[in-house]
């Protein structure tokens, strides 16, 4: 059973998330709060989260600023940002900060649950309108690759699939290679690009024109 925290100051939306999570047998809702400051007070007092569903526009510290604090306290936690915004600046600020997924609040409940399942499987759930923005950025003229960043042809192919949010198993099936091989290439990509999670990898790949 995966432990979920909800950090959201919109009471109506928060209640809908509570109902959604509590209806799932494999998810355990451990904490609900309206700000990072409330969540901070819960550190060490309730069960640590596997997943945090968090709004960006929180009172006090913003949801984006809070990401680093969560990751330092809970290194394995997965954070899905839920927000009304889909503008480029907020998307990439959140991704660069270490968010593992980015879903709009108008996303249907079943798709939010699918996003949770996807992120647990190693994917990076992103709402279609946001994914479309990312794809538009991908087809823009890319900046030259850094001479220090040299990915092999296979690594570049796998990087493209990682940026699309596909899981290690899905990539293996698409490329007809073993999960172990994909995992090895992925670790090499992370090492070469000096990143530690999927969202930061995506932001760096796009920013530096690596794909």
Residue 30 and residue 47 in contact, taking contact as beta carbons nearer than 8 Å:
yes
* Fold of the domain built from segment(s) 2-135: Rossmann fold (3.40.50)
Of 2, 49, 48, 51, give the one whose Cα is nearest residue 28. Answer: 2
Q: What per-residue confidence (pLDDT) applies to 27?
A: 97
DSSP H/E element including 33: strand 27-33
| 3-class SS of residue 197 | coil
Q: What per-residue confidence (pLDDT) applies to 137?
A: 61
What is the DSSP code (8-state) at residue 35?
Answer: S
For residue 56, give both structure tokens.
């960006």
d(CA 160, CA 157): 5
The model's pLDDT over 121-151, given as tens digits with 9 standing for 90+, comes to: 998 888 877 777 666 666 654 454 454 458 8
* Fold of the domain built from segment(s) 141-207: Arc Repressor Mutant, subunit A (1.10.10)
The pLDDT confidence band at residue 199, using thresholds 50, 70 and 90, is confident
Q: What per-residue confidence (pLDDT) applies to 147?
A: 40
Q: What residue segments make up the domains of the chain, in order of their start?
A: 2-135, 141-207
Q: What per-residue confidence (pLDDT) applies to 148?
A: 47
The model's pLDDT over 13-28, given as tens digits with 9 standing for 90+, comes to: 999 999 999 999 999 9
d(CA 157, CA 2): 32
The pTM score is 0.66
Q: Is pLDDT at 66 greater than 70 in this prediction?
A: yes
- Do the two domains 2-135 and 141-207 of this chain adopt the same fold? no
Q: How many residues appear in the chain?
A: 211
Within 10 A of 133 (CB to CB), how many other CB atoms are there?
17
Q: What per-residue confidence (pLDDT) applies to 141?
A: 47
d(CA 78, CA 54): 11
């Amino acid at each position: 059973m995966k432990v979920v925290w909800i950090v959201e100051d919109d009471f109506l939306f928060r209640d809908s998330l509570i109902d959604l999570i509590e209806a799932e047998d494999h998810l355990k809702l451990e904490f609900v709060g309206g700000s990072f400051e409330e969540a901070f007070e819960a550190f060490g007092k309730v069960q640590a989260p596997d997943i945090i569903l968090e709004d960006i526009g929180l009172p006090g510290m913003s949801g984006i600023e809070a990401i680093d604090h969560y990751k330092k306290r809970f290194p394995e936690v997965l954070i899905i940002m839920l927000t009304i915004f889909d503008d480029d600046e907020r998307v990439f600020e959140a991704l660069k900060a270490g968010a593992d997924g980015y879903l709009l609040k108008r996303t249907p409940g079943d798709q939010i649950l699918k996003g949770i399942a996807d992120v647990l499987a190693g994917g990076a759930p992103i709402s279609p309108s946001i994914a479309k923005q990312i794809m538009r950025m991908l087809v823009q003229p890319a900046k030259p690759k850094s001479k220090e960043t040299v990915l092999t042809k296979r690594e570049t192919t796998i990087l493209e699939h990682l940026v699309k949010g596909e899981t290690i198993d899905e990539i293996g099936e698409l490329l007809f290679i073993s999960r172990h091989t994909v995992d090895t290439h992925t670790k090499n990509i992370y090492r070469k690009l000096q990143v530690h999670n999927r969202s930061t990898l995506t932001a760096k790949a796009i920013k530096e024109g690596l794909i």
